Amino acid sequence: MEGLLTEKQRLWREQVAKFAQHQVFPEVEAMEQGQFPRALLAEMGRKGFLGIPIPATYQGLGADFTTYIIAIHELSKVSATIGVIVSVHTSVVTMPILAFGTNQQKTSYVPLLASGQKLGAFCLTEPTAGSDASSILLRAERADEYYVLNGTKIFITSGGEADLYLVFAVTDPASTKKNISAFIVEEDTPGFTIGKDEKKMGLHGSKTVTLHFDGVRIPKEQLLGEEGEGFHIAMSSLNAGRIGIAAQSLGIAEAAFNETVTYFKRNPAGLESTIRLGDMATKWEAAKLLVYQAASYKQANRPVTKEASMAKLFASKTAVEISTEAIHLLGMAGYTNRYNVERYFRDAKICEIYEGTSEIQRLVICKQLI
Ligand SMILES: Cc1cc2nc3c(=O)[nH]c(=O)nc-3n(C[C@H](O)[C@H](O)[C@H](O)COP(=O)(O)OP(=O)(O)OC[C@H]3O[C@@H](n4cnc5c(N)ncnc54)[C@H](O)[C@@H]3O)c2cc1C
């Protein structure tokens, strides 16, 4: 892995790791109690963490995609909550606005997002549309200079805390193809309200909420890309998103592995237990190679759909396996909150579900192969 990074990226990794230890770790307990890390995110915004791969002209750090993935990886070693908030905000909100936005949209929103003055949320899932995202029902009807949005989104990360919502809606129900469009919705738009806040097994510091759209009037200038381009925007954004979640998984896996090694150093165990570290280390290294390969493809503007899905599929499975094994090897201590492994275990599972379940990643990979 060291050989995969440039000197500059290695230094950046150390810098992020230090930030995570000194600034993020002290907030972990409050996040575990359900507190959204608002002050920490503001500080991260000031330091450039919320716009790492965004050009400096838009108030980003102007770094490459791998540098961004290093940050998600390192931050997630300490807090998977921070990992997902940063990944969603950057990969599937700021980057698509930069890629598909008009000049007006880019200059209005990207600097505010990249500097952390505004937080973004990505709104695709609905009560009847999870894995099959193309079956969304939220309607956007054109009325003069506006679109009027009616419907519901569920399980939206950072919902209620975010300032900008990238919302996918049906603009042409008569068409079976190209009927979805993307809209930028500001949090204070009349008719837009926050609903249920889900109680989750992990990621306690992140919000996961229902959003209601009741006659929400959006100026037509808030349409992102062309009418009918929404599904393409969502899917292409998810390529970057999945590499982000793969890096989040990698962080959780590495943290669980490191904690197990530390425990064994203090509490020597029998050979039968100790050699299981060999499997854990091998899986984690393999996951790392897939994640950083996908990041390098994305950075080089190469097609990355298959590689992003492979990285997410394998890294999320690795996070679940390693965190499960960590609890098992620590025995009763692992099942308590005296160690972090139980948190890693609770945080790992979602990586196999959001931004496409593992079955969906397999389907995506198959489609690319055949
Ligand atoms: C904590 C959390 C945060 C989230 N954040 C966001 C967010 O910010 N924005 C957003 O839009 N959504 C978000 N989601 C929603 C998430 O993306 C969906 O949960 C996910 O896409 C799966 O959809 P589903 O839950 O409806 O499962 P379903 O689609 O109902 O799937 C149930 C099971 O069936 C399997 N399955 C489904 N279809 C197939 C198939 N064709 N072939 C084989 N197996 C299949 C699935 O793999 C899964 O095992 C979040 C969810 C959670 C839990």
List, for residues 59-115, the tens digit of each pLDDT value.
999 999 999 999 999 999 999 999 999 999 999 999 999 999 999 999 999 999 999
Local structure of 168: helix, strand or coil: strand
Longest dimension (CA), the chain: 73
Computed from CA positions of residues 158, 83, 8, 306, in that sequence, does the dihedral angle turn out positive or negative?
negative
CA–centroid distance, 131 to ligand 1, in Å, is 5
Ligand 1 pocket check for 41: Cβ under 6 Å: no
CA-closest candidate to residue 167, choices 127, 122, 119: 122
* 3-state helix/strand/coil string of 174-209: CCCCCCEEEEEEECCCCCEEEEEECCCCCCCCCCEE
Residue 353 has pLDDT above 80, yes or no: yes
User: What whole-number percentage of the chain has pLDDT above 90?
Assistant: 94
Residues 6+ apart with CB under 8 A from 197: 160, 207, 208, 209
Ligand 1: residue whose CA is nearest its atom 30: 130
Which tokens belong to 361? 């990643």
Ligand 1 pocket check for 350: Cβ under 6 Å: yes
Ligand 1 pocket check for 357: Cβ under 6 Å: yes
Length of the chain: 370
Q: Tokens 């002290």 correspond to what residue? A: 26
Residue 274 has pLDDT above 90, yes or no: no
End-to-end CA distance of the chain: 31
Ligand 1 pocket check for 165: Cβ under 6 Å: no
CA–centroid distance, 356 to ligand 1, in Å, is 6
Computed over every residue of the chain, the mean pLDDT equals 96
CA–centroid distance, 155 to ligand 1, in Å, is 9
Ligand 1 atom closest to Cα of residue 121: 8
Model pLDDT, residue 175? 79
The mean per-residue pLDDT over the stretch 215-236 comes to 96
CA–centroid distance, 360 to ligand 1, in Å, is 9
Task: In whole angstroms, give the CA distance from residue 62 to residue 55.
Answer: 4
Ligand 1: residue whose CA is nearest its atom 12: 125
Residue 172 has pLDDT above 90, yes or no: no
Model pLDDT, residue 2? 59
Model pLDDT, residue 271? 79
Q: Assign 268 a pLDDT band (cuts: 50, 70, 90).
A: confident
Q: Assign 177 a pLDDT band (cuts: 50, 70, 90).
A: low
Identify the weakest region by mean pLDDT among 113-122, 175-184, 216-225, 344-353. Answer: 175-184
CA–centroid distance, 194 to ligand 1, in Å, is 20
DSSP 8-state secondary structure symbol assigned to residue 123: E
Residue 178 has pLDDT above 80, yes or no: no
List, for residues 188-204, the tens digit of each pLDDT value.
999 999 999 999 999 99
CA–centroid distance, 75 to ligand 1, in Å, is 24
Question: Is pTM beyond 0.75 here?
Answer: yes
Strands 146-157 and 208-219: antiparallel
CB hemisphere CA count around 149 (13 angstroms) = 33
CB atoms within 10 A of CB 133: 18
Task: In whole angstroms, give the CA distance from residue 344 to residue 316.
Answer: 12
Ligand 1: residue whose CA is nearest its atom 38: 131
- The β-bridge partners of 126 are 129
Ligand 1 pocket check for 135: Cβ under 6 Å: no
Residue 298 has pLDDT above 70, yes or no: yes
Model pLDDT, residue 300? 95
Q: Assign 270 a pLDDT band (cuts: 50, 70, 90).
A: confident
The mean per-residue pLDDT over the stretch 239-243 comes to 96
Ligand 1 pocket check for 168: Cβ under 6 Å: no
Ligand 1: residue whose CA is nearest its atom 14: 155
Q: Assign 269 a pLDDT band (cuts: 50, 70, 90).
A: confident
The mean per-residue pLDDT over the stretch 210-224 comes to 98
User: Can you count the helices (H) and strands (E) in the chain?
Assistant: 13, 8
Ligand 1 pocket check for 130: Cβ under 6 Å: yes
Question: Is 95 within 8 Å of 122 (Cβ atoms)?
Answer: no
Local structure of 170: helix, strand or coil: strand
For 215-357, where are the alpha helices, taking DSSP H only? 230-266, 271-274, 276-299, 305-330, 341-348
Model pLDDT, residue 1? 57
List, for residues 29-48, the tens digit of each pLDDT value.
999 999 999 999 999 999 99
Active centre residues (catalytic): 355
CB atoms within 10 A of CB 273: 15
Ligand 1 pocket check for 88: Cβ under 6 Å: yes
